[in-house]
């Protein structure tokens, strides 16, 4: 166990997972710890952008980033926060079809849900989704089929969801409560 929360968060972000470790598991750690939470980001610190704050999801790098406008500069945005993310599996394990891949492209947040949201689709063998539907805290749908961003207890270090973008619970809560708004742009890069 890591003694400091910032070092623990950095290790989860670098390894793109927060799942349990087992004997013999290899974990990447920085040689020297940088207290700046943006130090290990696979995204640029600043970039050109002509709009409001937005989220970028890079499923090849298993990461997401939130960008906000730079004060006084209308055409630039800066990295506000980033973290690990898992997208949809290329093939659904229940059906064997290619239906679980997260939709790449430009989208917009359709709605903001609270911490008690549950899936009304998965798991498939669940009869009463209000009781046993997969928990999706701080769910923010961005596609008409229900695909969206949400927190999850376990990020496994690979794209393994049914299409949604899973994030650390703390990241999803921050994004939902302090950063996102309805109609906010979400750019999902293909993988």
Q: Does residue 121 surpass a pLDDT of 90?
A: no
Higher pLDDT, 117 or 138: 138
Q: How far apart are CA 47 and CA 24, in angstroms?
A: 40
Question: Which domains does the chain possess?
Answer: 5-189 (2.40.440.10)
Give me Rg for the CA atoms of the chain: 17
pLDDT tens column, 81-109: 999 999 998 887 777 776 789 999 999 99
pLDDT band, residue 133 (cuts 50/70/90): low
Higher pLDDT, 103 or 126: 103
Winning range, highest mean pLDDT, from 7-21, 38-52, 140-154, 177-191: 177-191
Do residues 117 and 150 make contact, with C-beta atoms less than 8 angstroms apart?
Answer: yes
pTM of the model: 0.83
Please give the pLDDT value at position 132. Answer: 54
Please give the pLDDT value at position 106. Answer: 96
Please give the pLDDT value at position 109. Answer: 97
Higher pLDDT, 16 or 58: 58
C-alpha distances in angstroms, 3 versus 6, 8, 9, 11? 9, 8, 11, 12
Please give the pLDDT value at position 40. Answer: 86
Burial of 111 (0-12, 13-18, 19+ CB in 10 A): exposed
pLDDT tens column, 21-49: 667 777 777 777 787 879 889 999 999 98
């Amino acid at each position: 166990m890591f003694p400091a929360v910032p070092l623990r968060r950095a290790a989860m972000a670098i390894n793109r997972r927060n799942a349990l470790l087992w004997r013999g598991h290899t974990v990447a750690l920085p040689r020297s710890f940088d207290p700046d939470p943006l130090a290990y980001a696979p995204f640029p610190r600043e970039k050109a952008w002509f709009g409001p704050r937005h989220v970028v999801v890079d499923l090849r790098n298993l990461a997401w980033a939130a960008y906000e406008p730079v004060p006084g500069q209308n055409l630039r945005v800066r990295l506000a926060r980033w973290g690990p993310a898992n997208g949809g599996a290329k093939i659904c394990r229940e059906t064997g079809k290619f239906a679980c891949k997260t939709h790449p492209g430009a989208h917009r947040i359709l709605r903001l849900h609270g911490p008690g949201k549950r899936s009304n689709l998965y798991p498939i063998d669940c009869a009463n989704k209000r009781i046993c539907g997969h928990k999706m805290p701080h769910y923010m749908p961005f596609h008409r089929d229900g695909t969206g961003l949400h927190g999850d207890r376990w990020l496994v270090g690979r794209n393994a969801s049914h299409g949604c973008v899973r994030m650390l619970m703390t990241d999803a809560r921050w994004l939902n409560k302090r950063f996102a708004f309805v109609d906010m742009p979400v750019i999902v890069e293909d993988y």
